[in-house]
Amino acid sequence: MRGKMRFFSNVFILAVLATALLAGALPSLAAAPVEMKVRPGLGGLYKVNQHLELVITVDNPGPGFAGTIAVEQDEERPERRRPYLARVATDVDVPAGAGGQYRLVIPGELASVKPVVRLVSGGQVLAESRVEGVAVDDGRMVILALGEDVTGGGLQDWLSRGAGSLATLKYLSPGELPGDSLLLGAADIIMIGPAGVSRLSREQVKALKEWVYLGGSLVLLGGAGAGEGGSFADVSPVQVSGRQVVGGKLEGLRSGGPLEVAAGRLVAGKALAVENGVPVLARRPLGRGEVLYCGAAPGDLGGEARDVWSALLSNTVAVSDPEMKYRPPKGPYLIGGPSVAPLIDPSAYIPQLAGPPVPVLVLLWLLYTAAVGPLLYFLLRRADRRDLAWALVPAGALVAAGCFYLLAPAGRQQGYLTQTLASVEILSPELAAVRAGASVVATRGGELTVRAAPGMFTGPGAYRSNWTGVQVQLDKDTSTVNFGNVPYNSLRQLYALGLKHDLGSIAGRLCLEGNSIKGDLTNKTSLDLRDCKLILGGQVIPVGAIPARGTVHVAEKLPAVSPPTDPRMLLNALGVGQDIRPDNPFFRERSMLNEIVNGDFRRLTGVQFIGWHDGPAGILTTAGRTNRGRDIGLMLVKQTIPLDAAGRFYLPAGLLKPRTGDFLMPGQSPSPENNAINDQKVNLVYDLDDAGISRNFQIAALDIQYAKGQFNLPVEIYNHRDGRWEQLPDGGKRIGSAELSRYLSHNQVWLKTSGESRGPYPAWPGLAVEGVVS
């Protein structure tokens, strides 16, 4: 009996010791459970086609530990699973008796499947949560108001009607704003007042400015940060120097009495409303985006100021592509994942891996057959050594097999071969947006890891061979895609996007003189560019090769009649062949141009420069079982070139691309009668300031050009002087100086046309401009 008690006593002591040791190893057993909260996106909002930031807060009441935070699809919800979405993880070090805040960037598509976030340490799940956010439809506008002072002035009333009904308004504390411009992609408009500016960090201010260049619209209310030395003084259209009381009518946009506003002078862009000599509303294009300025605080505008918001935001909220009857997603440089498929798919076409032509293989086979057949027999019979045939025939077969093996791509490539196709848009001398798709060929198989350059977002493409437990590992500002143990001679694909701050730019300006365009362009990048071209509407001007630090002179006469071309005609003019097939020598070039011609060039105004660089983009590094590898690639470099004018000049049709949306009548808010698409008609607004001519100029004549019978319904033009719509003659009309006051207001021309056109034409008329520098 005593022996049994001693036995149970020993077992009890061993159990206590084991529990103590286990508790020391696992913090989840040593103290109260670890708690974790996950907050996604911009206050919970995100868009599926963009990356978003997860703010993860961990509360650890026990001892410190090292672990991993992983975001992965829920295995218990197979109906939501998408095999091509990778697991995203980051390593963390959680302090004792406290907690920490960690940030993780994931694709919006992964967030849309409601994934699970797990905190794992020592093989045990210590905490688990789910990503619960609100996915905003791509066609909806997201407006962020940074601070509670961004209220009043009829903003919400304006948003509840007209084009503004497509918008979602979200209030966000300035402290919650991410410090990375790529993580602001879900926001289309960000509004901020003076109180919000004072709460922004230096990183947040920089991110907002970069976000504007990438396509965002920043609204400075009450002159926020626009004073000398202010956070946004270098991007604001107005430089604020004080306060002043103005009449308050704002050129008919507001009803009410005197209004105190931030006063200053217009330094860039265009004034939208001037009161008592003070620019109260102004707009400044910047890169792909714009900075909008309002000298009045929203709370001071009053409830009858809906037209103020129309003047500020009508171009921003409006549909940007006349051929689309819905608002398309934002510019592609804030987008990752499936949207870079036009770069991922053609990256698998690797000319360096092409095998020998079939006729060459047939000839080699015939030579081998002749060599080991009649020729070998003749030689052995002549030497009377036919007994050697049993050894020479197999030897010849081995030699032939070795030659065929060495001719094959797998034989020529002993390590990894990575081809990266990159689209680079230079937005300023200090900023370029990069999007890339890549294919990696692992001829020997084994472990395959691809690391992106710091600051770049990367992940696997939606390619079927990628669907085998891919993980994206985040380490500070570096992303690594681990494909695991891949089979022999396999292909893996991925995307990358981010910013470059040291690329340089294409420096110089182009000047319009009469019907010619002239100027010098200097390549201030480190890239040797070939096949460079300028695109002016439907006109393509060859520039040739520009080596790094080289200069080229441009002198080209513009045609008298140059209507805008459709994307197919423009692609042919760019000289990249007729079809998109792998046997086309320009398959990669046409695939990359097809994306921007059918997307970007419809929205970009002014003169566009494009050039090609042969070589890798330098943003992806491949590692694995062998360190041997080769990086190749192709880069498409593009930039908007500043335009000037001297004396009399001519702008060809197609250079000015129209916006669509609501027309702003004085004292009239957007209404169903003025909707962007009404009775099969599309409203087009041609803004002559979009040409980007920096000097003051006067218009001498306008020429509206389109083909006879092009549109299903007659094209109409708005007569500002008489306040009515007038039908244009079929085929267009020339408007001389005597009629300009009727149809030209604030450098804008308004047209109405049908939403579809007949034949191989663009869905909008061309507007040619004759002017003179004042």
Which of 22-36, 289-303, 456-470 has the weakest average pLDDT? 22-36
The CATH code of the domain that includes 111 is 2.60.40.10
Mean pLDDT of the region 407-424: 77
Read off the tokens for 94: 């959680």
Report the alpha-carbon distance of residue 332 to residue 313 in Å, rounded: 21
My answer on whether 182 and 311 are in the same domain is yes
The whole-angstrom separation of Cα 179 and Cα 177 is: 7
Question: Are residues 421 and 612 in contact, defined by beta-carbon separation less than 8 angstroms?
Answer: no
Look at 90-104, 166-180, 668-682 and tell me which has the smallest mean pLDDT.
668-682
In a domain, 336, yes or no: no
> Could you say which of 135, 156, 178 is where a domain stops?
135
Residue 624 resides in a domain: no
Please, which pLDDT band fits residue 331 given cuts at 50, 70 and 90? very low
Q: Is residue 152 part of a domain?
A: yes
Same domain, 385 and 440: no
CATH number at residue 549: 2.60.40
pLDDT of 338 over the 70 cut: no
Q: What is the per-residue pLDDT across 484-540, written as a single tens digit (0 to 9) for each? A: 888 887 889 999 999 999 999 999 989 988 888 999 999 999 999 999 999 887 788
Instruction: Find out whether 174 and 147 touch, Cβ atoms under 8 Å.
Output: yes
Within a domain: 606: yes
Residue 651 lies in a domain: no
Domain stop point among 407, 428, 445: 407
Of 23-32, 103-112, 442-451, 716-725, the one with minimum mean pLDDT is 23-32
Tokens of 699: 């218009």
Task: Measure the N-to-C terminal CA separation of the chain; round to a whole number of Å.
Answer: 115
Candidates 637, 627, 629, 631; CA nearest to 619 is 631
Amino acid present at 578: Q
Q: What is the mean pLDDT of residues 271-295?
A: 91
Distance separating alpha carbons of residues 655 and 688, to the nearest angstrom: 10
Which residues lie closer than 8 Å to 282 by C-beta, 6 or more apart? 237, 238, 266, 269, 270, 271, 272, 292, 293
What is the percent of the chain with per-residue pLDDT over 70, rounded to a whole number? 80
Encoded amino acid at 516, one letter? S
Asked if residue 153 belongs to a domain, the reply is yes
User: Does residue 247 sit in the same domain as residue 170?
Assistant: yes
Q: Average pLDDT in the 303-329 region?
A: 57
Residue 461 domain flag: yes
The predicted-structure confidence for 206-215, as pLDDT tens digits, reads as follows: 999 999 999 8
End residue of a domain, out of 448, 479, 500: 500
Residues 433 and 462 in one domain: yes
For residue 97, give both structure tokens: 């008796």
Task: Round to whole Å and give the CA distance between 68 and 71.
Answer: 10
Nearby residues of 478 by Cβ (< 8 Å), 6 or more positions away: 451, 452, 453, 454
Task: Give the model's pLDDT for residue 315.
Answer: 62
Residue-wise pLDDT for 350-398, tens only, equals 876 666 666 777 777 777 777 777 777 777 777 777 777 777 778 877 8
Residue 29 has pLDDT above 80, yes or no: no
Cα distances (Å, whole numbers) of residue 671 to 138, 252, 459, 723: 23, 17, 44, 17
Does residue 174 sit in the same domain as residue 129?
A: no
CB-CB contact of 735 with 767 (8 Å): no
Query: How far is the C-alpha of 325 from the C-alpha of 298, rounded, in Å?
Result: 32
Question: In terms of pLDDT, which residue wins out, 624 or 373?
Answer: 373
In this structure, the answer to whether residues 198 and 261 fall within a common structural domain is yes
Q: List, for residues 146-200, the tens digit of each pLDDT value.
A: 977 787 667 777 777 655 557 788 888 898 899 999 999 889 899 999 999 999 9
| Residue 311 pLDDT level (bands cut at 50, 70, 90) | confident
Q: Which domain holds residue 452?
A: 416-500
Query: Do 603 and 557 share a structural domain?
Result: yes
Alpha-carbon distance 754 to 682, whole Å? Answer: 6
pTM recorded for the entire structure: 0.82
CA separation (Å) from 668 to 160, 166, 372, 744, 749? 15, 19, 91, 19, 18
Residue-wise burial string across 720-732, b where 16 or more C-beta atoms lie within 10 A, e elsewhere: beeeeeeebeeeb
Residue 432 to residue 505: CA distance in whole angstroms = 9
Please answer whether residues 486 and 517 qualify as being in contact, where contact means their C-beta atoms are separated by less than 8 angstroms.
no
DSSP β-bridge partners for residue 42: 45
Shortest CA distance to 692 belongs to which of 747, 637, 766?
747
Q: At 750, which helix (H) or strand (E)?
A: strand 748-754
Same domain flag for 601 and 488: no
pLDDT band at 548 (very low <50, low <70, confident <90, very high): very high
Whether 434 is covered by a domain: the verdict is yes
Q: Is 104 helix (H, G, I), strand (E, B) or coil?
A: strand
- The reply to whether 495 and 538 lie within a common domain is no
User: Could you tell me the two tokens for 142?
Assistant: 């997201």
Is the same domain home to 219 and 108? Answer: no
Helices (H), ranges, 574-663: 587-597, 600-603
What DSSP state is assigned to residue 397? H
297 with 155, same domain: the answer is: yes
Cβ atoms of 329 and 335 within 8 Å: the answer is: yes
Cα distance between residue 71 and residue 413, in whole Å:
36
124 with 147, same domain: the answer is: no
Number of domain units in the chain: 6
